[in-house]
Amino acid sequence: MIHPSVQIGKNVEIGKYTIIEDNVIIGDNVSIGHHTVIKKDTIIGNNVFIGNSVTLGKSPSSNKKMARKPRLDLPPLIIKDDVKIADQCVIYQDVLLMEGVFIGDAASIRENVEIGKDTIIGRNVMIENNTHIGEKVTIQTNSYITADMIIEDLVFIGPCFSSSNDKYMGKGNYPYQGPILNKGCKIGSNATLLPGVVVGTDAVVGAGSVVTKDVGDGVTVVGNPAKKINKQ
Amino acid sequence: MIHPSVQIGKNVEIGKYTIIEDNVIIGDNVSIGHHTVIKKDTIIGNNVFIGNSVTLGKSPSSNKKMARKPRLDLPPLIIKDDVKIADQCVIYQDVLLMEGVFIGDAASIRENVEIGKDTIIGRNVMIENNTHIGEKVTIQTNSYITADMIIEDLVFIGPCFSSSNDKYMGKGNYPYQGPILNKGCKIGSNATLLPGVVVGTDAVVGAGSVVTKDVGDGVTVVGNPAKKINKQ
Amino acid sequence: MIHPSVQIGKNVEIGKYTIIEDNVIIGDNVSIGHHTVIKKDTIIGNNVFIGNSVTLGKSPSSNKKMARKPRLDLPPLIIKDDVKIADQCVIYQDVLLMEGVFIGDAASIRENVEIGKDTIIGRNVMIENNTHIGEKVTIQTNSYITADMIIEDLVFIGPCFSSSNDKYMGKGNYPYQGPILNKGCKIGSNATLLPGVVVGTDAVVGAGSVVTKDVGDGVTVVGNPAKKINKQ
């Protein structure tokens, strides 16, 4: 089910029962799995791998209760060269995946997100909208990246990380801000970061910590609430 | 692959490679995605949106070791008007989704669950069986709603929430009870609620807290174990 | 789309739009859902149930930044008799599922993993590579089993459990070690276990605990960091 307007490069494999909508552009040496849906206008570079049962270029939606309504007329999903997207991922419109990004199985990425070169997004990671992720970042399995978050280059996030962007928990009309993770900081497994906290360059947050205040450059914090410890 | 017994309303779109089993009823202005499976007897109202690679009306299953065997002959899944179900959701039989409910990508809902009007179920949320969720509730991405839980109207649950219903962790034959969340209470991201705890009306549980005892109406608790703080 | 080399037993049901690659062997009384992909050389026993939109026998992959490159030429996925695999699971090559194993919806299992008889893997559980799981283990919904982990027989793991195997969080070239869970121990919901910790036989870890040191046989620990308490 490939729309006749789709542009397909050389040496492209497309799986069975896969649907490619109008005006999609596909580069050379691309492999696309079975039961996958690629929505209109998506742009795919060279040497890209896409798994089974993936949805690419999805439009956001909402219901009556949601504070933020999604914008219409978003730009397309753009996938640069050498990106790999594993099985059962859902990636929205207005996402830019730079060269060499790896997305594990069942990960999902909302609109208005950019992910830098060679970054690893683990299996079952959920990334919300309006988030910028740098180069050579690792985000391990099951982690949750809230909306309105900034993750600089070379950050390491262990599995089951949790973040949030809404200090008042749904009370109303005020600015949202996710955590800001500065270059090279390391966040342990199942840590919780409160809205707007800044983790400094090369700082370390221990596994299971609950970070309620900013963490200085190079500082290590652990506990609930997280407190500074002497580095070993 | 639409069974001839299926009743289809006006202005219904059905995607490619979608399977609709016998005696399914579909209202007017319904959109159903690609690669979706709708099991027999499911009832779908008007103005309903259903995404790609969804399974609706699934029967529960078990193995030798499971304490609770699923009931047979469950009633069908009923989806009321204006419900939206995103991609890759799995929703069982004996679920009632009231008007305006929104279910994010990859969420899953077990049998004997009712969800009230305009409630938001985030992406990748797992809801176990025998749970009642009220109206205008928000449950954010990656949260886990255990079995035998009660969530009243207007409750807000942040991302990565965790709950459990089994105090003795698989030791045997005794009643299970999930947490009870009273009207309008707010639960922070990655909080843990122990079996049977009650969170009072308009109470607040801080992010990353571990709640081992009941929380009074309007009270705020934080920490591990969670303790009362003065409201700011 | 069944390759002509596939061997199929008696009384086998195969869903619509399902793809079965070359040299797959399927036993008697097997049911396979719709939109499922079974990769080459997978071996399936008797009385096995496989759901919709499942991928079985997947090859691991990587990008430039990953420390560990996956091995090539892995042995096939082997599924023994009476196994059930629910919808939307992704299971890799070089996995051995022993008799009676139950895998819930959207669970995923990486390569070089063995799971013992009658063990329950909950919905949305992610299991990394190089892990051994014993018999009659329960791993509840949303739990995360890191790589290089050992889980002995009769262990109980509550929902949203988190583990990790990399003490230095991506710093370099050194041995990884996940937690070791000895026979019959019980781990509460949303607990965090640090790399290499040993939880003793019949020990108990409370919900929401952060375990930074080994836990002795029969000992109960709670808190962040987890400390010993007197048993009640």
> For residue C146, what are its two tokens?
């890191």
Question: What SS3 state is found at C41?
Answer: coil
Interface contact C3, partner A, CB < 8 A: no
Interface contact B174, partner A, CB < 8 A: no
Q: Across-strand partners of A198?
A: A180
Q: How far is CA B58 from CA B67, B70, B177, in A?
A: 20, 12, 24
Which segments in chain A show pLDDT lower than 50?
A: 232
Interface contact A169, partner B, CB < 8 A: yes
Residue B178, CA atoms < 13 Å, CB-side half-sphere: 22
Interface with A, mutate which of C69, C126, C128, C157 (most A CBs under 10 A): C126
Q: Which amino acid, residue C95?
A: V
Q: For residue C173, give how far its alpha carbon lies from the nearest alpha carbon of chain B (Å).
A: 31
- For residues C9 and C182, what is the distance between their CA atoms, to the nearest angstrom? 39
What is the per-residue pLDDT for A66?
80
Q: For residue B120, give how far its alpha carbon lies from the nearest alpha carbon of chain C (Å).
A: 20
Return residues 68-87 of A near B (CB < 8 Å): none
- pLDDT, tens digit, 9 for 90 and up, residues B19-69: 999 999 999 999 999 999 999 999 999 999 999 999 999 999 888 888 777
- pLDDT, tens digit, 9 for 90 and up, residues A44-78: 999 999 999 999 999 998 888 887 777 778 999 99
Interface contact C16, partner A, CB < 8 A: no
- pLDDT, tens digit, 9 for 90 and up, residues B83-140: 999 999 999 999 999 999 999 999 999 999 999 999 999 999 999 999 999 999 999 9
Mean pLDDT of C140-160: 98
- For residues C104 and C84, what is the distance between their CA atoms, to the nearest angstrom? 8
Domains of chain A by range and CATH?
1-60+73-127 (2.160.10.10), 133-168+176-232 (2.160.10.10)
Exposure string of A24-49, with b = 16+ CB inside 10 Å and e = fewer, is bbbbebbebbbbbbbbbbbbbbbbbb
- For residues A162 and A154, what is the distance between their CA atoms, to the nearest angstrom? 19
Q: For residue B170, give how far its alpha carbon lies from the nearest alpha carbon of chain C (Å).
A: 7
Average pLDDT over chain B, rounded to an integer: 95
Q: Which amino acid, residue B20?
A: I
What is the per-residue pLDDT for A63?
83
Higher pLDDT pick, B174 / B82: B82
- For residues A28 and A11, what is the distance between their CA atoms, to the nearest angstrom? 6
What is the per-residue pLDDT for C66?
80
Q: Return all residues near B77 (Cβ < 8 A) that are at least 6 apart.
A: B39, B42, B43, B56, B57, B91, B92, B93, B94, B95, B97
Q: For residue B158, give how far its alpha carbon lies from the nearest alpha carbon of chain C (Å).
A: 15
> For residue C29, what are its two tokens?
């009384």
Parallel, antiparallel, or unpaired for β B7-8 and C220-222? unpaired
User: What proportion of chain B, given as a percentage, has pLDDT over 90?
Assistant: 88
Q: Return all residues near A174 (Cβ < 8 A) that are at least 6 apart.
A: A168
Cβ contact B120–A88 (<8 Å):
no
Q: Across-strand partners of A108?
A: A90, A126
Q: Which chains touch A (3 or more CB pairs under 8 A)?
A: B, C
Output Rg (C-alpha) for chain A, integer angstroms.
19
What is the per-residue pLDDT for A62?
81
Q: Return all residues near B184 (Cβ < 8 A) that are at least 6 apart.
A: B152, B153, B154, B155, B201, B202
Q: Across-strand partners of B90?
A: B55, B108
Instruction: Provide ipTM, 2 decimals.
Output: 0.95
Cβ contact A141–C128 (<8 Å):
yes
Q: How far is CA C96 from CA B132, C39, C57, in A?
A: 38, 15, 11
Name residue, tokens 């939206």: B84
Residue B231 in this model has a pLDDT that exceeds 70: no
Cβ contact C192–A204 (<8 Å):
no
Sheet strands side by side (includes C204-205): C13-14, C31-32, C49-50, C84-85, C102-103, C120-121, C138-139, C156-157, C186-187, C204-205, C220-222, C227-229
Name residue, tokens 């449950």: B139
Answer for the pair B81, B62: CB distance below 8 angstroms, yes or no: no
- Per CB-CB distance under 8 Å, the chain A contacts of B116 are none
Interface with C, mutate which of A52, A80, A99, A102 (most C CBs under 10 A): A52
> For residue A225, what are its two tokens?
């609430």
- Per CB-CB distance under 8 Å, the chain A contacts of C162 are 142, 159-160, 189-190, 207-208
Parallel, antiparallel, or unpaired for β B49-50 and B84-85? parallel
Interface contact B18, partner A, CB < 8 A: no
What is the per-residue pLDDT for A231?
56
Which of B192, B108, B26 lies closest to A160 in space, CA to CA? Answer: B192
